[in-house]
Amino acid sequence: MHAARHVAALLLILLAWTVPATAAPYKADPGPFAVESVLGTWHDAARDRDVPYKLYLPAGAPGARAVVVFSHGLGGSREAAGYLGQHLASWGYVAVHIQHPGSDESVWAGLVGREAVIAALKEAVKDVRVSLDRFRDVPFVVDQLELMTAPGGALAGRLDLTRLGMSGHSFGAVSTMIAAGQKIGRGGRYQFKEPRFKAAIAYSPNKPMGRVSLEEAYTDMTLPMLHFTGTEDMNPLDPDQPASDRQIPFRTIPAPGQYLIVIQGGDHAVFGGRERRDGARPDDARDHRLIQEASIAFWDAYLSGDAAALAWLRGEGARTELGEEATIEMRN
């Protein structure tokens, strides 16, 4: 399986080299489809656990569509990164934004003051069960999507789960890395890899948690991945941790097809859309446009096999669009 994926990735790259690169924006504006949003909750009877979700659907899009799952950060909700879900759906994707009880907005609801909120978030992340619940939510969600697109399901025939991507911000980026095969625990003894994913995007990723070396943590990671961070992407729970730590996964994961985009001045909250508790900043619209463009180019390349998208991502198209606002690196 690993060899087949590497061969497919190599063929896609070779095809991209035959496609002229363009410096034009890549699907920067909203696409041709109106966006329908659907709120709901799945219940995992085996764990007696509810998993809320928000679907962004391309209204009237023909055929079965590629699907991207999004996992929010600590203290977030299914409303996180709505700018991404809206944009993807307008271009024909189905975006599935899930919510993780125990590490969602309920952690800080009703609290007053930044210090109280940070203290509550720190307590939540210390609980190992909170992390395990998150990691187990992801395969459960994929199971539910399979039921939804099956004959008689609520979205029968509308989801192409052979083109399935995983993404997330901050703690959601951790969930994404885990689903992509990162090992955790002493010596990397635990793994929650979800083999149904074909590619992944980590917004504000972080180095592995716990007593595990980088080699042990990343040895089984084979998916192509796009890593996003910013020069001001500090850890809200550990202000002494340098923003450059978020580049460690890109620089260490051995799998081919790794990309890193660093937004100049980009902070931690911009990737999640800041949600309701954070005020917008002047550069948010600029940063969101760059994030949307690069994200959809990556999904087009690796979920749909679009050689033009890959050529844009790997060539002058992305570099020209990012300009002085961001940098991009890649590894074959």
Query: Which residues are CB-neighbours of 162 under 8 A, at least 6 positions away?
Result: 198
Give the model confidence (pLDDT) of 105-116 as tens digits.
999 988 988 899
pLDDT for the residue numbered 15 = 46
Give the model confidence (pLDDT) of 265-287 as tens digits.
999 999 998 754 556 777 899 99
List, in order of start, the domains of the chain with CATH numbers. Answer: 2-331 (3.40.50.1820)
Is the confidence at residue 9, as pLDDT, over 90?
no
Is the confidence at residue 5, as pLDDT, over 80?
no
Give the model confidence (pLDDT) of 43-80 as tens digits.
999 999 999 999 999 999 999 999 999 999 999 999 99
pLDDT for the residue numbered 310 = 97
- 304-319: average pLDDT: 96
**What is the average pLDDT score of the chain?**
91
Using only C-alpha atoms, the chain has a radius of gyration, in whole angstroms, of 19
Which sign, positive or negative, has the C-alpha torsion 210, 184, 213, 256? Answer: negative
pLDDT for the residue numbered 168 = 98
pLDDT for the residue numbered 125 = 87
d(Cα 65, Cα 67) in Å, to the nearest integer? 6
- pTM of the entire predicted model: 0.91
Is the confidence at residue 98, as pLDDT, over 90?
yes
Is the confidence at residue 23, as pLDDT, over 80?
no
d(Cα 55, Cα 85) in Å, to the nearest integer? 8
